[in-house]
Structure 1
Amino acid sequence: MRRLLGRLRPGARLAVDPACGDPLLAELRAAAGGGDWAAVRAGLARAGDQGDLTTMVAQVADVAGVEEWIPQAVAAEPDSALPLLVSGARQVSWAWEARSGSRAQYVTREQWQLFHQRLETAEEQLYQVAEREPEWLGPWYFLQISGRGESLDKEAATYRFEAAVRRFPGHPASHRQRLQQLCRKWGGSHEQMHEFARSSMLGAPEGSQLGELVALAHLEHWLDLERGADAGHITSQPVRLQLAEAAQRSVLHPGYVRGRGWAATHNTFAMVLSLAGERNLARAVFAQLGDTVTKSPWDYLSKDPVEAFRLARKECA
C-alpha cells in the first residue's frame, strides 16, 4: 500500500462514512446490522428506480452478518425475488471478504476454496432472481462482480455488462465494474480501459456521472506503475487535461444531478485531482463534499483514509 507523506495535527471531526453521507443508506445499514429484515425491506421499498435499488442492496450486502439471517428471510418469502437478491449480493461480498485484498499469490488455499464456494452460491441465487424478475438490474450488476472472481471469458463478461445496461442505460456502478474488467490486472490493458472510460463519458450527456470513469481509469493506471513513474503519469499535462475535462463534464457541471451515494464519486475526483496537482478543481470538489469521507480511494494513500483526506484537502486549500 502506498503511504502518504506527512502528518497532520488532529483537526475537524472527520470519520469514514460507509453510507456516503446518505441518511437512508445509514438506516439500511443499521437495520441490516441488527438483522431486521422487515426494516430492510421497508427501506428498499423506498428506492426510486432500479439503479437506486441496486445501490441500496449493495449497501446491505456490505454489512457483516447479513449472511446469518438472510436465509430465513428467503425461506419465509419463497416466491419473492427481493430477499434472494439480497442473499446473492451478500454472497458476492462475503466471497471477496474471504479472498481478502491480497495479491493472488498471497491468498491461501482455504481462502480460495471459500471464495469460489460463496461465488457459486451467489451465481445460483442471482440467476434465479434474473429468471423471476427479467427487468431487474440488480442480478446483472452483481453477476459482473462474481463473474470477475470466477474468471469468466471475455464474451461472458461482456454479456453480463450489456445485460445490465440494457435494463438501466448509463448505470454508473455497472460501468465501474466494466472498467475493472478491462484493467490490466484482470486481463485487459491500459489502452482498453482508457478507451472505455473516455468513450463512455463522451457518449453520455454533459452532467453525467460517467465522467468519473476517466478519473478511475487514471487511478488504476497510477496504481499499476512503480513509484516515480506513477507520479509522472498522474501529473503529466495530457492526463491533467483529461481529468479537468472529466470533472467539468460531471461533478462540476451545472447539470450534474447527485445520485444515491454521490459522495463516493466526489471522493474519487477529490483524490485524483489532488494527486494530479489540479488544486483549484480539487478544492471545488472538496467544498461540495464537506466532511463526508469514504474509505475508497483514500486507503490507497494511507492506512488512515481520514488522515489522507484531511491532508489532501489542506494542501488544496
Structure 2
Amino acid sequence: MPAAPPLAVTADPAAAYPELPRLRTALQSRDWDGVTAILADQETAGRTRLIRFAGESEAADQLSRERLGADPSDTLAAGLLGSRLIEQAWKVRTGARAQNVSRLQFIRFHEILREAEQVLIDAAAYDPSDAAIWTQRLITARGLELGKSEARRRYDRLAEHDPHHLPAQSQLLQQLAPKWSGTLEEMHGFARTEMLAAPEGAPNAVLVLEAHIEHALLELKGDERARYFRKPEVREQVQEAAARSILHPAYRRTVGWVAVENTFAFMLTMMDDYVPAARIFTGLGPLASETPWVYLGSPVDLFTQFRDRAMKKGGAR
C-alpha cells in the first residue's frame, strides 16, 4: 500500500487542542453551561489561552455581553468579551509598525481598547485572582501606552495569585522589549529570572527564547542577526532552557505546548542546530503556531520551509 500523504500544516490551534472546537461550538450554539464547563476543567494557563483563542470567534461578543448584562460579576463573560474586543482592536491597528498605522486607525484602535479596559477593570474588582483578566489587562495597558510601571503593577497583582502564569509573562516580556519602551537588559533579565523561578519541567523557560527572538529579529539585520543566533552564549542559554522545559522528564503538553515547541524549533533552526530541531519538528507533525513565525511572514509557509531544512540537514541518520 502506498504511504498516506502527509497532513497539511495548520496554524489553527483547534487542530492541537480538542477543547477549542468544543468551545467554539458551545459559543456558536449559545450554550453558556457548556462554555463554563469546558473552561472550568482547565488549569489557569490553559484557561487563559482558550479564552484568548475564543476571542477570534464573533459568537463570543453577543453571548458574553448578554451574560454580563444578567450578572455583572461573571468574570468569565468579562474575560471572553475583553478577548473579543482586543482581537477587534488589533485587527483595526494591524501588526504594522506605528509609523505605518494611520491616525484614524489609532483612534478606533484606542476606542475599542478603552471599552475592553473598562470591562476588564470591573472584572478585576469582582475577582482579583482571575489570571485571564490580568493577562488581558497587560495587553490593553500596552496598546493604550500606559507604560512599564503600570504593566508591572498589573503583572504583580496577577503574580500574587499565580506566580508562574506563562501567558501573562509573555505579555509582560513584550512590554519590556525595546519596541514597547523597554530595554534589552530588562527583557532578557525578566526572561531568565522567570525561567529559574518556575518549577523544572514547566514551559516558562521558553521566555528566554522569546527574548532572543525579539532581540535578533527586531533589533538586528543581515549578517549581524545571523551572527547573533550563532553566539556561543545564546546556544548555551537555549540548551539550558530546553533542559529545564521540553527535555525535562516533568514536562507535560498542556494547552499552549504547540507555541512553546514551535519556538524551540524556530530558534534551533535559526541557530543551524538541525538535529534537535528535526526532532522537535517530528514531534510537532503538522502543527504550526502563529508565533514566532509571523515575525518573518506566513506561519504555515515558514514552518514548512524551516521543517524541510531541519529534516534535510538534521533528520534521521
Given the two structures, how large is their TM-score scaled by the length of structure 1?
0.89
SS at match of 2:222: coil
Aligned residue in 1 for 2:305: 311
Look up the SS of the partner of 1:293 in the other structure: coil
Sort the Cα spacing of 1:64 and 1:220 in 2 relative to 1 into closer, same or farther, 3 A.
farther
Deviation at 1:207, TM superposition (A): 1.3
1:125 aligns with 2:105: no
How many angstroms does 1:292 deviate by? 1.2
Shift of the alpha carbon at 1:38?
4.6
Aligned partner of 2:144 in structure 1 is: 150
Runs of 4+ residues deviating >6 angstroms = none
The answer on whether the counterparts of 1:21 and 1:261 sit within 8 Å (CA) in structure 2 is no
Aligned residue among 259, 273, 276 for 2:271 = 276
- What secondary structure is seen at the aligned counterpart in 2 of 1:86? helix
Of 295, 298, 314, 1:300 maps to 295
What percent identity do the matched residue pairs reach? 36
Question: One-letter code of the match for 2:80?
Answer: V
Query: Which residue does the alignment assign to 1:107?
Result: 101
Q: Distance in 2 between matches of 1:117 and 1:65?
A: 21
- Contact persistence 1:20–1:263 (CA under 8 A): no
Letter in 2 for 1:288: G
Counterpart of 1:249, as a letter, is R
Q: Who is 1:87 aligned against?
A: 81
Distance 2:274 2:93 in 1: 37
**1:199-238 residue pairs with structure 2 within 5 A?**
199-224=193-218, 225-238=220-233
- The match for 1:5 is none
Give the gaps of 5 or more residues in structure 2. Answer: 312-317
Cα separation, 2, equivalents of 1:40 and 1:234: 42
Report the alpha carbon displacement of residue 110 of structure 1 after superposing the two structures with TM: 1.7
Instruction: Please report how far the alpha carbon of residue 149 of structure 1 lies from its aligned counterpart in structure 2 after TM superposition.
Output: 0.8
TM-score of the superposed pair, with normalisation by structure 2? 0.89
Per mean C-alpha deviation after superposition, the further-off stretch among 257-266 and 62-71 is 62-71
The CA deviation at 1:76 is 3.4
In 2: Cα distance, 1:192 partner to 1:31 partner:
41
What is the rounded CA distance, in whole Å, between the counterparts of 2:303 and 2:211 in structure 1?
20
In structure 2, the CA distance between the partners of 1:211 and 1:20, relative to structure 1 (3 Å rule), is: farther
Deviation of 1:104 after TM superposition, in Å, equals: 0.6
Q: Is the 8 A contact 2:148 2:176 kept in 1?
A: no
Q: Which amino acid aligns with 1:101?
A: G
Question: Higher mean Cα deviation, 27-36 or 49-58?
Answer: 27-36
CA shift, 1:64, in A, is 4.0
CA contact (8 A) 1:208 1:250 kept: yes
Superposed counterparts of 1:17-32, under 5 Å: 17-19=12-14, 21-32=16-27
1:257 corresponding residue in structure 2? 252
Cα deviation, residue 220, structure 1: 0.5
Deviates more, 1:113-122 or 1:287-296: 287-296
